[in-house]
Amino acid sequence: MPALLCFDDERPAAQRLLTALQAAEAPGQDPTGGEPWQLAVVERHRFPDGEWRLRLPATLPTVVAFYRSLHQPNEKLVELLLAAPAARELGAQRLWLVAPYLAYMRQDMAFSPGEVVSQRHIGRWLAAAFDGLITVDPHLHRVAALADAVPLADAQALSAAPVLGAWVVQRRPGALLLGPDEESAQWVQQAAAATGLQAAVCRKVRHGDREVQVALPPLDVRGRAVVILDDMASTGRTVAQAAAALRSAGAASVDVAVTHALFVGDALVALQAAGVGEVWSTDSVPHASNAVPLAPLLAPALQRSVRSFQISGNSTTSSILRK
Ligand code: R5P
């Protein structure tokens, strides 16, 4: 019976994934061999000095997946550093990480001598701890594939852009989809392809954590409904600058759709001040703006991975038997 492990603060999202997994377990088509997934919460105790004591189920099945979205990642990475090898000691033979938001992907090169390329090191560490990774819209800019950042044979990068696009087209039919920087082109193009909406991309120059300049593309936006679409909003300054420019250029409305609603500090205040109307996000990061659940994407991806492990496991067994 495969186990889905989560932590108490993400139990609702893990429960949605469990429900989606169970819904797909049609008789005779269950890729996990007919056994339903079980959800268990990893117990945490915080010692007075800040260290964790974790407790997993005392015995685990062969197939185990952790659900852990890696926003506010530093503590969570330590949890996984402890929990992943412990899961193997308790019986897991195949270990997946379902991390709808994958942290540290933006630090993908040394911008000055000596700067740590965090993407590479976090990626290598995750690849050593897990057999498979499923994530959504990882910020891959200078690398082509997720496996280049997290060197696993089973590294799946799903995209929420089509489902976010479908949400947008319901709420703002005929809207212009606008990516706030060049890196957002990949997501805006996917959302446009899925919906037929027009799409364009801005140019951005970043001067600091909260200092960005955004230049609109050469398009007439007067009177148009525009939806800014990006993989994430953190301080919200990128989106706010694009929104302010759109309002100055005469856009009728500016709304925002992002996969990962990090929205740190006064991000939402900045968006409001820039003239943003609605803000929509997926549930990769729990936030008031969550509108689009990811479980319908994550469940089939996890089932595909488990299925392929079982097929390759069976063929390994067969080849051993043939020897
Ligand atoms: C980077 O290119 C990302 O796609 C986002 O545009 C960026 O991380 C947003 O950051 P912030 O909200 O802090 O401007």
- State pLDDT tens for residues 145-182: 999 999 999 999 999 999 999 999 999 999 999 999 99
Phi, psi of 286 (to 5 degrees): -60, 125
Residue 238 lies inside a defined structural domain of this protein: yes
Residue 318 lies inside a defined structural domain of this protein: no
Q: How far is the CA of 270 from the centre of ligand 1 (A)?
A: 14
Q: Do both 10 and 142 map to the same domain?
A: yes
Q: Do both 8 and 151 map to the same domain?
A: yes
Q: Do both 165 and 154 map to the same domain?
A: no
- Model confidence, pTM: 0.93
Q: Do both 209 and 133 map to the same domain?
A: no
Residue 149 lies inside a defined structural domain of this protein: yes
Give residue 29's domain range.
3-159+295-312
Residue 322 lies inside a defined structural domain of this protein: no
For residue 312, the model assigns a pLDDT of 78
Q: How far is the CA of 229 from the centre of ligand 1 (A)?
A: 11
Q: Do both 154 and 119 map to the same domain?
A: yes
What does the DSSP 8-state code read for residue 291? Answer: E
Q: Do both 113 and 17 map to the same domain?
A: yes
Q: Do both 169 and 277 map to the same domain?
A: yes
What separation, in Å, do the N-terminal and C-terminal C-alpha atoms of the chain show?
A: 30
Q: Do both 192 and 308 map to the same domain?
A: no
Handedness of CA 273, 189, 305, 81 (dihedral sign): negative
Q: How far is the CA of 106 from the centre of ligand 1 (A)?
A: 9
Q: Do both 78 and 175 map to the same domain?
A: no
Q: Do both 122 and 209 map to the same domain?
A: no
Q: What's the total number of domains in the chain?
A: 2
Is 204 one of the annotated active-site residues of the chain?
yes
∠ at Cα 262 (203, 55), nearest 5°?
Answer: 145
Q: How far is the CA of 275 from the centre of ligand 1 (A)?
A: 18
Q: Kind of pairing, strands 52-55 and 63-67?
A: unpaired
Residue 58 lies inside a defined structural domain of this protein: yes
Phi, psi of 281 (to 5 degrees): -145, 170
Task: Check pLDDT > 70 for residue 206.
Answer: yes
Closest CA to 176 of 236, 254, 237: 254
For a pocket test of ligand 1, which of 187, 213, 230 has the largest count of ligand atoms closer than 8 A to its C-beta? Answer: 230
Q: Is 163 helix (H, G, I), strand (E, B) or coil?
A: helix
Q: Do both 61 and 120 map to the same domain?
A: yes
31 lines ligand 1 (CB under 6 A): no
Residue 104 lies inside a defined structural domain of this protein: yes
303 lines ligand 1 (CB under 6 A): no
Q: Report CA-CA distances (Å) from 196 to 166, 174, 190.
A: 10, 9, 10
212 lines ligand 1 (CB under 6 A): yes
Give me the CATH number covering residue 183: 3.40.50.2020
Neighbouring CB atoms inside 10 A of 172's CB total 20
Among all chains, which residue has been given the structure tokens 């949400």?
167
Residue 264, CA atoms < 13 Å, CB-side half-sphere: 9
The arithmetic mean of pLDDT across residues 219-239, rounded, is 98
CA 105 to chain centre: 11
108 lines ligand 1 (CB under 6 A): no
Looking at 16, 71, 120, 204, which residue is catalytic?
A: 204
pLDDT, tens only, 42-57: 999 999 999 999 999 9
Residue 287 lies inside a defined structural domain of this protein: yes
Q: Do both 99 and 227 map to the same domain?
A: no
For residue 151, the model assigns a pLDDT of 98
Report the percent of the chain where pLDDT is more than 90: 90
Residue 319 lies inside a defined structural domain of this protein: no
Task: Check pLDDT > 80 for residue 202.
Answer: yes
Question: Facing residues of 230 across strands?
Answer: 258
For residue 318, the model assigns a pLDDT of 32
